Amino acid sequence: MERTFFIIKPDALKRGLAGQILSRIERRGFQIRDLKMVTATEELISQHYE
Protein backbone atom coordinates (compact mmCIF):
# COMPACT_ATOMS: atom_id res chain seq x y z
CA MET A 1 0.00 0.00 0.00
CA GLU A 2 1.31 3.44 -0.90
CA ARG A 3 1.07 6.34 1.52
CA THR A 4 1.20 10.04 0.83
CA PHE A 5 2.08 12.74 3.35
CA PHE A 6 0.27 16.08 3.14
CA ILE A 7 1.11 19.27 4.98
CA ILE A 8 -1.41 22.07 5.21
CA LYS A 9 0.41 25.38 5.49
CA PRO A 10 -0.22 27.66 8.49
CA ASP A 11 -1.77 30.42 6.36
CA ALA A 12 -4.40 27.97 5.08
CA LEU A 13 -5.25 27.05 8.67
CA LYS A 14 -5.52 30.72 9.64
CA ARG A 15 -7.86 31.29 6.68
CA GLY A 16 -10.05 28.36 7.78
CA LEU A 17 -9.37 26.27 4.67
CA ALA A 18 -8.36 22.97 6.31
CA GLY A 19 -11.79 21.37 5.83
CA GLN A 20 -11.96 22.34 2.17
CA ILE A 21 -8.44 21.06 1.55
CA LEU A 22 -9.18 17.71 3.22
CA SER A 23 -12.39 17.40 1.18
CA ARG A 24 -10.47 17.97 -2.05
CA ILE A 25 -7.95 15.31 -1.07
CA GLU A 26 -10.77 12.80 -0.47
CA ARG A 27 -12.56 13.72 -3.71
CA ARG A 28 -9.38 12.86 -5.59
CA GLY A 29 -9.57 9.32 -4.26
CA PHE A 30 -7.28 9.48 -1.25
CA GLN A 31 -8.37 7.94 2.03
CA ILE A 32 -7.33 9.83 5.14
CA ARG A 33 -6.02 7.17 7.52
CA ASP A 34 -4.57 9.45 10.16
CA LEU A 35 -4.71 13.13 10.94
CA LYS A 36 -2.42 14.95 13.33
CA MET A 37 -1.97 18.65 13.97
CA VAL A 38 1.39 19.77 15.32
CA THR A 39 3.20 23.06 15.68
CA ALA A 40 6.40 22.71 13.70
CA THR A 41 9.42 23.71 15.75
CA GLU A 42 12.84 24.23 14.21
CA GLU A 43 13.91 20.89 15.71
CA LEU A 44 10.95 19.05 14.19
CA ILE A 45 11.56 20.62 10.79
CA SER A 46 15.26 19.73 10.82
CA GLN A 47 14.43 16.12 11.79
CA HIS A 48 11.98 15.93 8.90
CA TYR A 49 14.61 17.04 6.38
CA GLU A 50 17.47 14.82 7.65
5 in any annotated domain:
no
Count of the separate structural domains present in the chain: 1
Cβ pair 7, 16 in contact under 8 A: no
Q: What is the pLDDT of residue 1?
A: 82
Range of the domain at 34: 10-48
pLDDT digits 0-9 by tens, 22-47: 999 999 999 999 999 888 899 988 88
Q: How large is the average pLDDT for residues 10-24?
A: 95
Distance (Å, whole) CA 34 – CA 25:
13
Q: What is the pLDDT of residue 13?
A: 93
pLDDT score of 2 more than 90: no
Our measurement of the distance from residue 13's CA atom to the centroid of its chain's CA atoms, rounded to an integer in Å, reads 10
2 in any annotated domain:
no
C-alpha count within 13 angstroms, C-beta hemisphere, residue 45: 5
